[in-house]
Amino acid sequence: MAGLIGLDWGTSSLRAYRLDADGAVAEVRARPWGIRQLPEGGFDAALAEVTAGWPALPRLACGMVGSRNGWHEVPYLDLPADAETLGRALHAFDAGDGSVLHLVPGLRNPRGPDVMRGEETQLFGALARDPSLAAHATFVLPGTHSKWASVRDGAVVDFSTAMTGELFALLRQHSILGAGTGEAVPDPEAFARGVIAARDSGAAGGMSRLFSARALMLDGALAPSAVPDYLSGLLLGEELRAQLASGRFRIDAPIQLIGDAALCARYRAAAVHFDLSFAEPLVDIVAGGLWQLAVTAGLVADPLVVAPKEARSC
């Protein structure tokens, strides 16, 4: 029986995909077992449960499971990296019961330095989904640690992390800016106002405008319930301003969003104020990325190749 078991194993969740011999997703299981909130029995038990009843197929996991605080640390692979180099660098380890689990290494950008772990698989999933992006594209993956990545000739050649999502959560929950704002009410106008404040912040940068969220509220110029959307706009706007100002991510090539639909919609709304157009997000591409890397590594046979490569140990 051919196919693959793919695992997207992050900090707060675990998704398991059973892929058939053609790389199509036959079944998905989601569990709240991120590496920080494992069930009793830890990693072993989580893996056994989430794949219970599935056939004995090669297993490949990406994400924080391969980090220092994960199951088994896999060193980062330095840029530039295409699917070939990443596929050759898969890391196999004994998952405890004598069976092997393969892990995708994260990527390291010597510039910064910067690191990603999990997003690289999404990037190769995106390239597998839409090969036209491989020649030259900028990718934006919004999230807790938002990533901007530059792909050239099929290889990730640069990326940069903005801690937008984490900063927003911290400021909203723990800072003076979140105090007295009560229940947040969606307010597209306040969001746009925040985006524009960051865009027009000049050389000082948008973070220098952070306290305006408080001052505008005290002024009565911003409803308390609109402060979260203003702050969200300010932080997203600052992410866009800074990444564009860095000159590292070309905008004459397609800019492709990857990620959660609601969050990506906010980025598209923010991009308009920079006269940019972000393409509709690609979703559910991790399984395709895992499949792509498994094929490249020879873990599974490429259905498009008439004579399948022999599976090899990595």
Among 100, 184, 185, 207, binds its own copies (CB under 8 A): 207
In the block, which residue shows the tokens 């792509």?
Answer: 292
Asked if 251 interacts with its own copies (CB under 8 A), we say no
Asked if 121 interacts with its own copies (CB under 8 A), we say no
The Cα–Cα gap between 281 and 262 comes to 10
Asked if 176 interacts with its own copies (CB under 8 A), we say yes
Among 161, 232, 256, 292, binds its own copies (CB under 8 A): 161
Mode of pairing for the β-strands spanning 255-258 and 279-282:
parallel
Asked if 18 interacts with its own copies (CB under 8 A), we say no
Kindly list the distances between the CA atom of residue 124 and the CA atoms of 33, 177, 217, 239, in Å, as whole numbers in the listed order: 24, 38, 44, 23
User: Is the distance from CB of 20 to CB of 3 less than 8 angstroms?
Assistant: yes
Asked if 220 interacts with its own copies (CB under 8 A), we say no
Determine how many CB atoms are found less than 10 A away from the CB of residue 292. Answer: 23
The distance of closest approach from Cβ of residue 247 to its own copies in the complex, given in angstroms and rounded to an integer, is: 8
Asked if 114 interacts with its own copies (CB under 8 A), we say yes
With 0-12 / 13-18 / 19 or more C-beta atoms within 10 angstroms meaning exposed / middle / buried, residue 54 is middle
Measured from the CB atom, is 204 or 262 closer to its own copies?
A: 204
Asked if 245 interacts with its own copies (CB under 8 A), we say yes
SS3 262: helix
The distance of closest approach from Cβ of residue 276 to its own copies in the complex, given in angstroms and rounded to an integer, is: 16
Asked if 98 interacts with its own copies (CB under 8 A), we say no
With 0-12 / 13-18 / 19 or more C-beta atoms within 10 angstroms meaning exposed / middle / buried, residue 220 is exposed
Build a one-symbol-per-residue string for 24-63: x at contacts with its own copies by CB under 8 A, - elsewhere.
----------------------------------------
Per CB under 8 A, which region of 81-89, 109-117, 264-272, 304-312 contacts its own copies?
109-117
Measured from the CB atom, is 28 or 218 closer to its own copies?
A: 218
The Cα–Cα gap between 179 and 50 comes to 41
The distance of closest approach from Cβ of residue 19 to its own copies in the complex, given in angstroms and rounded to an integer, is: 31
Among 209, 255, 256, 273, binds its own copies (CB under 8 A): 209
Question: Which residues make Cβ contacts (< 8 Å) with residue 113, sequence separation at least 6?
Answer: none
Asked if 113 interacts with its own copies (CB under 8 A), we say yes
Number of residues that bind its own copies (CB under 8 A): 44
Asked if 120 interacts with its own copies (CB under 8 A), we say no
User: Is the distance from CB of 155 to CB of 82 less than 8 angstroms?
Assistant: yes
Asked if 266 interacts with its own copies (CB under 8 A), we say no
Kindly list the distances between the CA atom of residue 297 and the CA atoms of 87, 89, 190, in Å, as whole numbers in the listed order: 5, 8, 48
Asked if 243 interacts with its own copies (CB under 8 A), we say yes
The distance of closest approach from Cβ of residue 171 to its own copies in the complex, given in angstroms and rounded to an integer, is: 7
The distance of closest approach from Cβ of residue 156 to its own copies in the complex, given in angstroms and rounded to an integer, is: 15
| CB-based burial, 2-41: b 16+ in 10 Å, e otherwise | bbbbbbbbbbeebbbbbbeeebeeeeeeebebbbeebeee
Which residues of the chain form contacts with its own copies (CB under 8 A)? 68-69, 76, 108, 112-115, 145, 160-163, 166, 170-171, 174-176, 179-180, 202-212, 214-216, 218-219, 221, 238, 242-243, 245-247
